[in-house]
Chains A and B, each alone.
Chain A
Amino acid sequence: MPRNMAYEASSLGEDLLWELMRRGSLAMEVAERTKDNVYAVFHGHLVPVAQEPLLTPFSVSLSSQGPVEVSFEGNFVILTAHAQPLSIGRPGESPGEIKGWPELVKLASVLGSLLRGDLDLHVSRLALKLLEEGWPDPEAVIEGAQRYVGAGAGSTPSFDDFLAGYITGWGRSLQARLDLSNTTHLSRAILSEVLADRDYLVEVARVRECAKGRGDLLHHSLRVASMGGSSGIFMLLGVTSALLQRVGEKDVLLKLWRSIGGTHRSP
């Protein structure tokens, strides 16, 4: 993303939007830049800014036209509202039954087959081991996950992507704490948000809700899978794993991970 350039935004995360409409403009310091994304910070929250950002309650979605002016000045992103943009809203958790899990598993297994490279396949084996050993207790999974935080390549390591999906999939019913000192700055920021807000990863949370019949499961699964290189696929596998654990489908869960290449077997 070039510096000292002006853009426009068509949609904003609902929390950031509320603040912007209240104040009229916001200035946020840039915390990190990747090839296609800028991450700023607002009141301690990570603000992804891109044409196709990670969708969160604080995201800024750039477009060719929009009611919000977005300027990059030095190390700051300045938002100025001329009218109200669209809101990226949290889906919220519903109490519905997770009836869509069979379709989700089929999609996740096919999309999961795109994982390549020793490191990603290694992470898939770690996830399989963790889920098998921790069954049926999600807190045991989180406890076991502690030693793998930061495993994998990229600005958000693959294991962390899986974990973000898994925690989102469990929703508020899971109490989770993690020491995030061993991972990247960006991943730490995202996982911290996910631990505090189970709808922070809006698209992943939508998959969780679509599995309960609230929306188009294929559409939202593909939205998640399309994120980054393998990040989205690990998030999709994470949310699918949580939902399978919630419905007690241990055999399917293990089969899913083995279908991707995980070979861990219980002794």
Chain B
Amino acid sequence: MSLREEIEKANQMAVERMMEASALWVDVVEAGRKLAVFSQPTILHAGPPVEWESASGPLRGALIGATLLEGWADDPQSAERKLAKGEIRLLPTHEVGVVAPMAGAVSPSMPLVVIRDPKYGNEAYSNLNEGIGKVLRYGAYDETVLKRLKWMGSELSSAFKAAVDQAVKERGGMDVKLILTQALNMGDEGHNRHVAGTSLFLNELVRYMIMSDLPKEVTLRVVDFVKGNNFTFLNFAMAAGKVMTLAAHNIKYSTVITVMSRNGTEAGIWVSGLGKTWFTAQAKIPQGVLFPGFRPEDANPDIGDSAITETSGFGGFAMAAAPSIVSWVGGSVQFAVENTERMYQITLAKHRYFKIPYLSFQGTPTGLDLRKVVKTGIEPTINTGIAHKQPGVGQIGAGVVSMSIEMFKRALRHYAQEYGI
């Protein structure tokens, strides 16, 4: 078989598996119980590997907060000292099957949702979403942030656990992919807009919570929390995206991108046929709409694992499905449509299940092809949140950013060395 045919066959398989993977929510479990990496003090973070010295403000803030949450330090100063000395290990989330938005700090006591793909035998994990504004994932770590995280790690996660156990008993789990598919038809794009997704999720959640005999006041607090945070479903969608891209990963010859992620300093990608090798470049600063009182120079370079949504064929790639998103990330409806159309030029397929009503129910652009990115020079567009560059402040807006072409060029050079004749 010629190289062209090998690549074509591998890419077809990768995209097919990505589209056909299922994504069932089956469990909620403490990170330290699920992942072996927590046998020593460790915090996971979004994006490619990074050390404390080069970590951005919001990532530093989140790491300090997670250190305090775990009780490894009594105050922010001593947390910072421990982190700076390397007494707490930092590991990229993606390397252990986790995806987490923005800073992506995951420490052992935090609950993880478990998304399973029975079809291809993969599992992926994400933490629970705290809401917007002053939250850990944007680098805030004051008492209110830690208090909320503690509640999420106890009452909220217990309620979710009871609900998902009921879902597993009744139907083998909650079908996150189905919710995502419906949400894209209801004006979400699955990254920065989850109004429909969170509502659909809540519709199912309530039934399972009632069936699991949770106390009424607990059910009410959980429902109010989810209702008040339209981003609840983001983390479920991200873990679903991760389990889909896992199905497409590690296929010899495949040029499909299976990870795009950022740590606030660098952005990085994985290529299916090149294993877990990171190809990185400087993370760009998002452009968008800032909350009142903040200025563009306050913004940190892009951060988070949430680009897994675009990697698996929704999010920014499906912007045309979500005209209302422009009020959150800026731009115009026309921009949203043009962006999706541009993404078709660098992808291999139209998604079989994720559809865009406005584009006559065309499938979303799916299967980002390394070769097409470098050939066309079109950088993948990501919908994203904007974090303040100083630790402790939090979210200051939302917008759009692209992944630098440079990391794709580095990956192509490596790919050519590996597979070129």
Which A residues fall within an 8 A CB radius of B? Answer: 103, 105-115, 218-219, 222, 225-226, 232-233, 252, 255-256, 258-261
Contact = CB atoms under 8 A, between A and B. Distances in A.
A105 B421 CA distance: 7
A261 B375 contact: no
Interface string B247-290: 00000000100000000000000000000000000000000000
B4 A107 contact: no
B421 A225 contact: no
A105 B419 CA distance: 11
Contacts of A218: 409, 412-413
Most buried by B among A111, A113, A252: A113
Interface of A is mostly: helix
What's the interface size class on B, roughly? Answer: 20 to 34
A104 to B, nearest CB: 10
A225 B375 contact: yes
Interface in B292-344: none
Contacts of A226: 374-377
Interface string B390-421: 00000000000000000001001101110111
Contact of B7 (A113, A222, A258): A113
Interface in B352-389: 371-372, 374-377
Contacts of A106: 416-417, 420-421
Contacts of B420: 105-110
Contacts, number: 68
B386 to A, nearest CB: 26
B3 interface: yes
B409 A112 contact: no
Contact of A261 (B5, B412, B417, B421): B5
15 contacts: A105-B420, A106-B417, A106-B421, A107-B416, A109-B416, A111-B371, A111-B374, A113-B4, A113-B371, A218-B412, A222-B412, A252-B421, A260-B2, A260-B3, A261-B4
Given A107-B420, A110-B371, A259 B4 contact: yes
Interface in B114-158: none
Contacts of A232: 375
Given A109-B3, A113-B4, A261-B5, 15 more contacts: A109-B421, A110-B7, A110-B255, A110-B415, A110-B420, A111-B374, A113-B7, A114-B372, A114-B375, A222-B374, A222-B409, A258-B2, A259-B4, A260-B3, A261-B4
Contact of A111 (B8, B375, B377): B375
Given A252-B421, A258-B2, A259-B3, A110 B416 contact: yes
Contacts of B8: 113
B371 A255 contact: no
Nearest to A255: B421
Contacts of B419: 110
Contacts of B372: 114
Contacts of A115: 4
Nearest to A105: B421
A233 B376 CA distance: 12
Most buried by A among B412, B415, B417, B421: B421
Nearest to B5: A261
Nearest to A223: B377
A249 B225 CA distance: 68
Instruction: Report the 6 A-B pairs with minimum CB-CB distance, sorted nearest first.
Output: A106-B420, A259-B3, A106-B416, A113-B4, A109-B421, A109-B420
Interface string B146-184: 000000000000000000000000000000000000000
Contacts of B415: 110
A38 to B, nearest CB: 21
Contacts of A259: 2-4, 421
A109 B6 CA distance: 12
B8 to A, nearest CB: 8
Most buried by B among A109, A115, A219, A225: A109
A153 to B, nearest CB: 18
A258 B412 CA distance: 21
